[in-house]
Amino acid sequence: MKLAIATALLASTAAAFSSPATFGVPRSTTSLASTAEKSEVYTFEKSEEIFAEAQTLMPGGVSSPVRAFKSVGGNPVVFDRVKGAYAWDVDGNKYIDYVGTWGPAILGHADDDVLDAVKATMEKGTSFGAPCPLENELAKMVIDAVPSVEMVRFTNSGTEACMGMIRLVRAFTDREKVIKFEGCYHGHADSFLVQAGSGVATLGLPDSPGVPASATKATLCAEYNNLDSVKAIFEDNKEDGIAAVILEPVVGNSGFIKPDKEFLEGLRKITEENGALLVFDEVMTGFRVAYGGAQQYFGITPDVTTMGKVIGGGLPVGAYGGRKDIMEMVAPAGPMYQAGTLSGNPLAMTAGIETMKKLKVDGVYEELERKAKKLIDGITAAAEKHGHAITADCAGGMFGWYFVEGPVKNFQEATKADAEKFGKWHRMMLERGVYLAPSMYEAGFMSMSHTDEDIEKTIAVADEVLSQL
């Protein structure tokens, strides 16, 4: 199986991603013309000015590619502050925010209790570079919550967690080859930038220049929700064997794609039969779809789990954990080396602890899913009312939709969604105070701070916008 997304596949959508002409405005313009009459339409003069300067200082004007709005047209708005379910840009425009700093803000932005705890910890210092009791406290909470985790190693990002994880599964099994899935993103390490979903697909790139062929030759790609494609790879690699099967248990980097329960059960069975490890990358789904992550939500326990986002309460963090016999391979307990200067720093540990205390309360995830379902049901109804093809789904506080007849079961099906319509939809929603992920290949996130009034207002704005698309 080829190890990169076919250039021809993404070329068909790249024009809609990158061409300013798709939306009828020059690339340097933030606001798109629209015919909406009911809602106030925002303007973005200060955002334009700041972003223009940023482009002279940072590649593309951003610190992470999807923020540049390349796939939706126009330029990004520049945030000034956030609180609860809302964000304000430098022009003073207020948004109902469904990005939530890409997932971590599950309580809502700038939670008062989390901020107070971080401030108190900061008085003691921002980083020790030595063990601190806060690491023990958060580690115990993670181990108690996540079914697969008996020991955990903290890192500083999801990418770093996945880098440690892939080295660990290869060290433990003494095998090199791993299976990942088209459209699943596991950070920007070389070995994972193969058919990697949102970050690459949003820019219309098949993979990244600068990644040597030697770095990806042991990364084999299967089709999500297609167990036969996985079986074929195992069959073709009997001699060398497979170290691990690695996946997002709910795909959030190709939009939003739920797995079939039988697919996850089949992966668990085939890995056990072949001496391979099953890895859930729960950087996005961990503590987001359920307190114990997607593995609790679906009732399937992997061998190793990567985490991030929510467990740092909005501060930079990552982690990987699993069975004790596997984790004891990690230095200094074992020979598999991985380290980090700021790993386990007291500020991130504190924010994670305070966030998880609130998430453990009964009913939190049922309420998150109720609100997410209310949102997608309302938007789906509005789209159908105005004659638009749409499919949507949610799990816990995570959701997504595509402008295409559903269901969408894998990345190839996701690429058939209407990218041009999504770009226009995104801009018109933005202009009316609803902040959505600036790519059809990214999931959305509900928080505990979103109210029914926020959701109803969002649906009303969506109805207005969809009537004009």
Cite the active site residues. 185, 281, 309
Quick one: which of 66, 111, 146, 171 has its CA closest to 319?
146
Q: What does the buried/exposed string (b/e) look like for 140-157 if buried means 16 or more CB atoms within 10 Å of the residue's CB?
A: ebbbebbebbebbbbbbb
Residues 6+ apart with CB under 8 A from 301: 147, 148, 268, 295
Q: Tell me the backbone φ, ψ of residue 20, rounded to 5 degrees.
A: -65, -25
CB 397 within 8 Å of CB 446: yes
List of long-range contacts for 109-112, beta carbons under 8 Å, 24+ apart: 109/82, 109/83, 109/84, 109/85, 109/314, 109/447, 109/449, 110/82, 110/83, 110/84, 110/314, 111/313, 111/354, 111/355, 111/358
| DSSP secondary structure of 431-466 | HTTEE--SSTTS-EE--TT--HHHHHHHHHHHHHHH
Beta strands in 323-445 (DSSP E): 391-395, 398-402, 434-435, 444-445
Instruction: Give the CA diameter of the chain.
Output: 65
Q: Give residues with Cβ within 8 angstroms of 218, minimum separation 6.
A: 176, 177, 178, 191
Would you call 352 exposed, middle or buried from its count of C-beta atoms within 10 A (0-12, 13-18, 19+)? Answer: buried
